[in-house]
Amino acid sequence: MKPRIVIVLCVVAMVAYTVYNNFVRVAPSEDLNVRNSFQAMSMGISLGNIEAVKAFISPTFSDSKINKDDFLKVLGLKRKMYSARVSNVTVQDDIALVSYSRAEVRGDDSEPINVNITGETWIKNKARPGIWSLQKLADGDTWFRTAEIPQKKVVVAVTQKKEGSVLGTLEKGTGVKAMKKGERYNSTGKRDPFKPLIAIGVSDTETLADEICESSRPREELEKYDLDALKLAGIIQSDKGPMALIETPDGKGYTVYMNMFLGKRCGKVSEMQGDYILLKEKVRKPSDKPGQFTTIDTPMQLRREEG
């Protein structure tokens, strides 16, 4: 083989190796890391969990439109609805430009706001491999970064209530007896109005324990809630492993890792997948002896926001 041909083949091989390393092997991995970091911060925003949000804001964050402290206050506001979907990520070395669509409702009296963002700047976190952080906002991204809530006009129709108009309909048309002024409700022989019609979470073969499962173990924060009252808002991968974002009935957000506990039945997190977590719960069955509990597997499914 001629020396010139050998040289050409070597050059082609070197170019192919460089392209593979920089565009085929590395780029898709970093693209995914950027997307995962973006979605993790979006979940923190939707839950109003400022600590989760801070983890994805670069220490070098700087923007002419808003300072970092004010920016974090805005991101920590409680929102009725928030969602963000990435449309494109362009990675070059340690910098990434993210384009996405965003929608949110901050209050009961606010209109939904939809906006497309192009070129938000993210930077690789060198101290935490695989994690990217927001460094600079995109040009034109202004209204979202203020605490103001676009209000909608609410027209309230005031009508004069006529005595007997509603009560008369109830008494005459439905057979329901209306209560008179000063009369008290008598629950004798009636169903408790505060008791749910359907028992959730306990089968016919199970019974709630009089004893507390694992009474010697200190209880964690999320064990004071019924499991049905908790919401699984998302699952992400972090440098500590999989992490679930849990929302309580009062709207507060918590991060949960493997082997932590949720719910009033000593539910221990044993598995985390893309759209659910699996808990090992302890229940009392009729056949169980005093102080004995049966372990059951209880999945907790991801609940996605509508819209």
Q: What pLDDT is recorded for position 122?
A: 93
Give CA–CA dist 111/274, Å, rounded: 32
Q: What pLDDT is recorded for position 48?
A: 80
Residue 245 phi, psi dihedral angles, 5° rounding: -105, 120
Pairing of strands 261-262, 253-256: unpaired
Q: Which run of H or of E encompasses 143?
A: none
Q: What is the pLDDT of residues 265-281, one digit of tens each?
A: 999 999 998 888 999 99
The pTM for the full model equals: 0.45
pLDDT higher than 80, residue 252? yes
Q: Which residues pair with 243 in a beta bridge?
A: 236
Give CA–CA dist 99/121, Å, rounded: 9
Q: What is the pLDDT of residues 79-109, one digit of tens each?
A: 878 888 899 999 988 999 999 988 888 766 6
CA atoms within 13 A on the CB side of 75: 23
Residue 210 phi, psi dihedral angles, 5° rounding: -75, -35
Report the pLDDT averaged over residues 133-155.
Answer: 66
Q: What pLDDT is recorded for position 209?
A: 42
The 8-class DSSP code of residue 229 comes to: G
Give the least confident one: 19-23, 30-34, 266-270.
19-23
pLDDT higher than 70, residue 172? no
Domains in the chain with CATH codes:
3-145 (3.10.450.50), 193-301 (2.30.30.830)
What tokens does 300 get? 């907790």
- Which band of pLDDT confidence, cut at 50, 70 and 90, is reported for residue 169? very low
